[in-house]
Every structure is written in C-alpha cells, then in structure tokens.
C-alpha cells in the first residue's frame, strides 16, 4: 500500500518536455475547448479554456508524486487539481495548498485562427 510521502523527489512519470503539437479548435478534439472551463488531455498536457476565455496548458503529471491525474476544474476561478492526493495549483502552476511546494509545469500556447499551437 502506498500513501502520500513528504519526499517530493520521487520519480515516476516524467514531466512532459518537447511538447510539439497543434489543436484545431474546429475539430472534434477541439470541441471540448469551445466552452469556458472545458479541457482536453493530450500527450500528458492539460489544455483548458479558462473562465476568462483564455487558453492555458499545464502538465497532466502532478509535481507532488508524478501521478498523471491533474485536471482543470472551475473551482476558485479555475485551477488545476490532482485527483490522487488533492494538490491544487493556480493557472500559473503555483501550489495552492500544503500537499506540495513544487510548482506545476506550464506551457506557452498561442492561438492562430482556429489553431492552438504549443511553444516550448
């Protein structure tokens, strides 16, 4: 049985790097990003349309114990939350509770017409 550990140096799944893909907002995949609060998961990245109608992207892999359970939720104005142990992060990746002090990796994205492009 595993539990939450205070050792945050554990490794499991790697934090996504080298992200290089495009999401067509007019496609079936992009349809979930039409509404504020909607999100998709792609290549271990959570891509969301926040409540201010901006697109944000963060690692799906939690900085706490590297589980791939981070999702965008509309609580508290829109945050990322890990379902495994309850770590919460603001949209810039800053931890919001004491589960972890490690930030969540964020990614730069740019909207060009209906294409959402990732910039590493």
Query: With contact defined as beta carbons under 8 Å apart, do 30 and 38 qualify?
Result: no
pLDDT range class, residue 37, cuts 50, 70, 90: very high
Instruction: Classify residue 58: in a domain, yes or no.
Output: yes
Tokens of 79: 């945050």
The number of folded domains in the chain is 1
Q: Is residue 26 part of a domain?
A: no
| Vertex 111: Cα angle to 54 and 42 (nearest 5) | 80
Residue 54's domain comprises 34-119
Alpha helical stretches, state H, the chain: none
Q: Is residue 22 a part of any domain in this protein?
A: no
Q: Which of 101, 62, 55, 97 is nearest to 78 (CA)?
A: 55
Neighbours of 26 (CB within 10 A): 12
pTM of the model: 0.83
| Domain presence at residue 7 | no
Q: What is the pLDDT of residue 21?
A: 80
Tell me the CATH number at 51: 2.102.10.10
Residue 109 lies inside a defined structural domain of this protein: yes
pLDDT in tens, 82-98: 999 999 999 999 999 99
């Amino acid at each position: 049985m595993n539990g939450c550990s205070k050792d945050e140096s554990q490794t499991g799944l790697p934090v996504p790097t080298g992200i290089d893909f495009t999401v067509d907002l007019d496609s079936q995949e992009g349809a979930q990003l039409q509404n504020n609060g909607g999100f998709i998961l792609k290549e271990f990245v959570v891509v969301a349309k926040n409540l201010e109608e901006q697109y944000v992207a963060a690692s799906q892999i939690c900085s706490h114990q590297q589980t791939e359970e981070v999702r965008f939720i509309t609580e508290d104005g829109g945050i990322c939350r890990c379902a495994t142990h309850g770590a919460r992060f603001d949209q810039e990746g800053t931890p919001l509770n004491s589960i972890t002090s490690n930030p969540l990796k964020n990614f730069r994205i740019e909207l060009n017409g209906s294409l959402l492009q990732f910039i590493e």
